[in-house]
């Protein structure tokens, strides 16, 4: 049995046990956490290719071709040459950025050679992928600062000591205009305009610069320069990655294989990609308690994709807990706590994960909200004329915007709770009610319910005073 197979056997036994028990969860986190450093070189070429493919969107031209390339290199006593391009455009990194690093780490632990390509030259052009307008270029100082922050924050998911760093300015800066013209003569404009974001902007009458059209060419030239076996990228980068294959062919090189990774949905459950601008992200530098709490606030349907994105669980283990959910032998809340623990453990270790778990349980599993520590208070006399969404976004700052508060209402995560000696009564607010004045909603929904009133938005809680 392989080392990974032995770990899966141990973890599977734990996953069949009582997953509400702290002792079981702690042992599980230690077992699965240790896999982040597990030597995977004893896997066959087919097993390696399948393990990579299980967490990706596409492997082109196919998983079988990846296995064949692995076996070919292994027969020659070598590993694959793997490339991931990093566009150092932001200093703050969130969990969505960790996804390619986790897959890259698996390649690394399988014995393959990894190159991180720093897009210092292309960052000055600005990658337009998924954007409705041209992105402003960065300076050398911006790039250096962002790269340092990126590396430090992603370090829990990747061993930077066993990687080669290259900068694409090495070959793109000296590239001559005659060389570029000769290359462009072989690339149809129609291929560049296949990009959905380009077509959308042109249809809307927005501008499209030549530098943006040339970005896929520049990224493809990175593949030519490095002659890698495999390039990783997000699913939205597929056309850029395929351009690398085309340019390699034009230069008489063996085309790279392409591995695309999923774009992770944000925590608000709206379907939008995790993004700082949308406020639906989990920062890699966030405190352990905040990370745990944000994971606990996500819709239940995100638990499985999050398990696949950020943990070292196999499909077999994900299926096992799925079957337990189906037969009601596992409560969804217990599984979500395990997921939250996995993420915190990756960032700060199992001990911090268990402490965050205990803190969450102490704060949010109380029978009475009065037992929870100091809560923010909203004076209904002062803010009753304001919409509930505005109270949440402007007064309490529970949500980054009123639209984010409305999304909570769509998910049935916006509630009024009245607590009395008889217990708790909960009223779920619809999206239509969420945009009405707080005072009106309270009068209509809670007129016959005496007691202390709370406003609950996801996992956040505030007391309403003076209704």
CATH assignment at residue 164: 3.40.50.620
Residue span of the structural domain in which 400 resides: 377-465
What's the pLDDT at 248?
95
Q: Are residues 236 and 331 in the same domain?
A: no
The answer on 324 and 360 residing in a single domain is yes
Residue 371 lies in a domain: no
- Considering the entire predicted model, what is its pTM? 0.74
Residues 287 and 408 in one domain: no
Both structure tokens of 202: 């042109």
Q: Are residues 309 and 332 in the same domain?
A: yes
256 and 274 together in one domain: no
Residue 44: inside a domain: no
Whether 45 is covered by a domain: the verdict is no
309 & 448 share domain? no
Residues 108, 245 within the same domain:
yes
Instruction: Confirm whether 49 is domain-assigned.
Output: no
Write 171-178 long-range contacts (CB < 8 A, 24+): 171/221, 171/222, 171/225, 172/121, 172/122, 172/218, 172/221, 172/222, 173/121, 175/221
Task: Decide: helix, strand or coil at residue 415.
Answer: strand
pLDDT for 461 equals 87
Tell whether 195 and 65 lie within a shared domain: yes
Residues of the chain with pLDDT under 50: 130-134
Both 426 and 321 in one domain: the answer is: no
CATH number for the domain spanning 311: value is 1.10.240.10
Co-location of 120 and 228 in the same domain: yes
Q: Is residue 442 part of a domain?
A: yes
Q: How does pLDDT run across 323-339, given as a tens digit for each residue?
A: 999 988 999 999 999 99
**Residue at which a domain ends, from 210, 230, 261:** 261
Residues 99 and 181 reside in one and the same domain: yes
* Alpha-carbon span 256 to 60, nearest angstrom: 9
Phi/psi of residue 384, each to 5°? -65, -25
Show Cβ contacts of residue 62 under 8 Å, excluding neighbours closer than 6 positions.
Answer: none
| 41 inside domain | no
Looking at 343, 365, 387, the residue that finishes a domain is 365
CA distances, 353 to each of 68, 318, 338, 339 (Å) = 40, 20, 9, 10
Question: Whole-angstrom Cα distance, residue 420 to residue 441?
Answer: 20
Sheet holding 58-60, edge to edge: 58-60, 257-261, 230-234, 81-86, 113-118, 164-167
Task: Specify the number of domains making up the chain.
Answer: 3
- Does 47 fall in a domain? no
Within-domain flag for 350: yes
Say whether both 195 and 276 belong to one domain: no
């Amino acid at each position: 049995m392989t080392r990974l197979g032995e770990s899966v056997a141990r973890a599977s036994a734990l996953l069949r046990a009582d997953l509400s028990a702290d002792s079981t969860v702690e042992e599980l986190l230690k077992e699965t956490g240790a896999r982040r450093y597990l030597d995977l070189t004893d896997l066959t070429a087919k097993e390696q290719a399948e393990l990579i493919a299980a967490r990706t969107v596409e492997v082109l031209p196919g998983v079988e071709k990846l296995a064949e390339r692995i076996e070919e290199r292994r027969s020659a006593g070598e590993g694959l040459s793997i490339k991931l391009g990093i566009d150092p455009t932001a200093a703050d990194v969130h969990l969505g950025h960790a996804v390619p690093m986790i897959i890259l780490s698996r390649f690394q632990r399988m014995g393959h050679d990894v190159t991180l390509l720093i897009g210092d030259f292309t960052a000055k052009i600005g990658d337009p992928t998924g954007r409705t307008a041209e992105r402003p270029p960065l300076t050398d100082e911006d790039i250096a600062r962002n790269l340092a922050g990126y590396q430090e924050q992603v370090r829990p998911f990747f061993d930077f000591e066993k990687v080669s760093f290259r900068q694409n300015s090495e070959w793109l800066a000296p590239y001559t205009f005659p060389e570029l013209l000769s290359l462009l003569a072989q690339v149809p404009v129609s291929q560049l305009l296949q990009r959905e974001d380009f077509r959308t902007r042109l249809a809307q009458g927005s501008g499209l610069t030549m530098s943006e059209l040339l970005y896929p060419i520049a990224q493809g030239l990175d593949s030519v320069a490095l002659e890698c076996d495999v390039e990783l990228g997000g699913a939205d980068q597929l056309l850029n990655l395929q351009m690398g294959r085309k340019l390699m062919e034009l230069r008489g090189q063996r085309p790279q294989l392409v591995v695309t990774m999923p774009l992770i949905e944000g925590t608000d459950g709206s379907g939008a990609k995790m993004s700082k601008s949308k406020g639906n992200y989990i920062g890699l530098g966030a405190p352990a308690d905040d990370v745990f709490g944000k994971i606990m606030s996500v819709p239940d349907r995100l638990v499985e994709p999050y398990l696949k994105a950020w943990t070292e669980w196999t499909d077999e283990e994900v299926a096992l807990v799925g079957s337990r959910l189906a037969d009601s032998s596992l409560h969804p809340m217990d599984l979500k706590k395990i997921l939250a623990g996995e993420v915190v453990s990756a960032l700060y270790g199992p001990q911090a994960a268990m402490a965050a778990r205990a803190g969450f349980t102490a704060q949010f599993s109380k029978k009475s909200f009065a037992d929870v520590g100091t809560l923010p208070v909203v004076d209904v006399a002062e803010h009753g004329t304001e919409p509930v969404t505005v109270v949440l976004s402007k007064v309490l700052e529970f949500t980054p915007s009123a639209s984010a508060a409305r999304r909570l209402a769509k998910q049935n995560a916006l509630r009024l709770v009245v607590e009395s000696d008889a217990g708790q009564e909960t009223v779920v607010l619809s999206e239509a009610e969420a945009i009405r004045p707080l005072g009106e909603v309270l009068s209509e929904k809670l007129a016959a319910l005496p007691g202390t009133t709370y406003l609950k938005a996801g996992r956040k809680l505030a007391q309403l005073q003076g209704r």
